[in-house]
Amino acid sequence: MTTTTTQPLSKLDQLQKLLLRKNGASIAEMMHASGWQQHSVRGAMAGSLKKRGLVIISTKLDGTRRYHAEKPA
């Protein structure tokens, strides 16, 4: 009998998942998901997530800034 266990997503994995959604995520949504402060979320986008090869794009809709990520081709 084999059992498979999946490890919970790391905080960076959670942020990446949010950013890869069609609508992306706001800073507040990423702060809520990770439990991090605003400066830590921004730092993760500028550092670790870019090192993973993601291109972070910022847009402002109805006064709310949203971020989404794309994987380069």
The CATH number assigned to the domain holding 16 equals 1.10.10.10
Q: Does residue 6 lie within any of the structural domains?
A: no
In this structure, what token pair is assigned to residue 60?
């402002």
pLDDT band at 61; cut points 50, 70, 90: confident
Q: Does residue 48 lie within any of the structural domains?
A: yes
Q: Does residue 35 lie within any of the structural domains?
A: yes
Name the average pLDDT for the chain. Answer: 92
Q: Which residues contact 16 (CB under 8 A, 6 or more apart)?
A: 49, 52, 54, 69
Q: Does residue 19 lie within any of the structural domains?
A: yes
Which pTM value belongs to this model?
A: 0.84
Q: Does residue 2 lie within any of the structural domains?
A: no
Quote the pLDDT of residue 2: 65
Q: Does residue 4 lie within any of the structural domains?
A: no
pLDDT band at 1; cut points 50, 70, 90: low
The total number of structural domains that make up the chain: 1
Q: Residue 45: give the domain boundaries.
A: 11-70
Q: Does residue 39 lie within any of the structural domains?
A: yes
From 3-7, 18-22, 31-35, 40-44, the region with the lowest mean pLDDT: 3-7
User: How far is Cα of residue 22 from the mean position of the Cα atoms in its chain?
Assistant: 12
